[in-house]
């Protein structure tokens, strides 16, 4: 993702490059015929086969220290809230307190699931094409009389 267009877009987004300068730098940009053929042969413009799995983008690294810290933090707090819920059930705590412990424990698990979906699970697409529908003409089960 370090191509010229991406660098220009990021520079415009940060305000380092003006929009007019970015347009001027891309005015003479064009693909040669060989580059176009290479892109077509590489599969950029070809349609995927039915049922094939296509990677939408590279999956972010799930091995970052912040992600690992978050999961250790989440496992600790979900265990804390669930075990305190079990302890409270055994010692006849108030129902409101038990509901709070259950809600916070489930919320921690939901946050861990969201982080897993966002930062660890790879983004893939299963390509499914619709089959052309053929609706046959119904057989007429009556006779047409001409008057």
Q: What is the pLDDT of residues 66-121, one digit of tens each?
A: 888 999 999 999 999 999 999 999 999 999 999 999 999 999 999 999 988 888 77
Q: Quote the percentage of the chain above a pLDDT of 90.
A: 31
**pLDDT of res. 66:** 86
Task: Check if the beta carbon of residue 64 is closer than 8 Å to that of residue 119.
Answer: yes
**pLDDT of res. 108:** 97
DSSP string, 111-140: HHHHHHHHHTS--EEE--PPPPP--PPPPP
Lowest-pLDDT choice from 15-29, 32-46, 117-131: 32-46
Paired strand residues for 126: 53
Residue 58 pLDDT > 60:
no
**pLDDT of res. 76:** 97
Q: What is the pTM of this model?
A: 0.47
Other CB atoms within 10 Å distance of the CB of residue 108: 20
Burial 79-96 (b: 16+ CB within 10 A, else e): eebbebbeebeeeeeeee
């Amino acid at each position: 993702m370090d191509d010229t267009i991406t660098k220009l877009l990021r520079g415009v987004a940060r305000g380092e490059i003006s929009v007019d300068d970015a347009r001027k730098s891309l005015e003479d940009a064009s693909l040669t015929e060989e580059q176009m053929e290479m892109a077509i042969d590489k599969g950029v413009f070809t349609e995927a086969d039915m049922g094939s799995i296509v990677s939408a983008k590279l999956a972010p690294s799930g091995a970052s220290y912040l992600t690992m810290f978050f999961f250790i933090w989440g496992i600790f707090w979900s265990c804390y809230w669930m075990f305190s819920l079990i302890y409270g059930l055994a010692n006849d705590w108030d129902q409101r307190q038990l509901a709070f412990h259950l809600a916070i424990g489930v919320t921690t698990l939901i946050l861990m699931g969201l982080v897993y979906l966002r930062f660890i699970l790879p983004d893939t697409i299963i390509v499914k094409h619709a089959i052309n529908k053929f609706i046959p003409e119904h057989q007429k089960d009556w006779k047409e009389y001409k008057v």
